[in-house]
């Protein structure tokens, strides 16, 4: 209220109200109401300075939050890159393993579907050929 006293003189206001026909009690009630209204709705230099201080503190806090957000973004980006790399390595390994499994299964199926290898030829036992016996010599 100290900032308002210089701009608003309650004593002068009461004197003018009484001079125009108000009672002193009515004039004082008007001054009290007006002083309350002005006190709540007007800002003093101290109020503005306090508000400026709060604004500066809020701006400082916002800058600190922005820095923390940027650091968090950078951490998340590194984590995402690491996850990508791990996923690519894991997927490549699984692809190689599946390829080897498929090739192995194909060779197994091909081997099972081949006709059995022919047995080596074994000639039947040779028959003994006998010539007819020569006639007895006499």
pLDDT digits (tens, 9 = 90+) for 73-104: 999 999 999 999 999 999 999 999 999 999 99
Contact of 13 with 31, CB cutoff 8 Å:
yes
pTM over 0.85: no
As a whole number of angstroms, the distance between CA 59 and CA 67 comes to 12
Q: What is the share, in percent, of the chain residues with pLDDT greater than 90? A: 51
């Amino acid at each position: 209220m100290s900032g308002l006293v210089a701009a608003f003189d309650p004593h002068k206001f009461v004197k003018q109200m009484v001079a125009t026909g108000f009672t002193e009690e009515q004039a004082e009630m008007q001054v009290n109401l007006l002083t309350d209204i002005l006190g709540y709705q007007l800002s003093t230099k101290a109020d503005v300075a306090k508000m400026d201080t709060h604004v500066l503190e809020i701006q400082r806090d916002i800058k600190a939050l922005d820095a923390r957000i940027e650091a968090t973004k950078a951490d998340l980006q590194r984590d995402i890159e690491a996850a990508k790399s791990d996923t690519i390595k894991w997927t490549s390994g699984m692809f190689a393993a599946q390829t080897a499994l498929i090739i192995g299964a194909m060779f197994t199926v091909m081997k099972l579907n081949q006709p059995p290898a022919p047995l080596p030829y074994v000639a039947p036992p040779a028959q003994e050929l006998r010539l007819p016996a020569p006639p007895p010599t006499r």
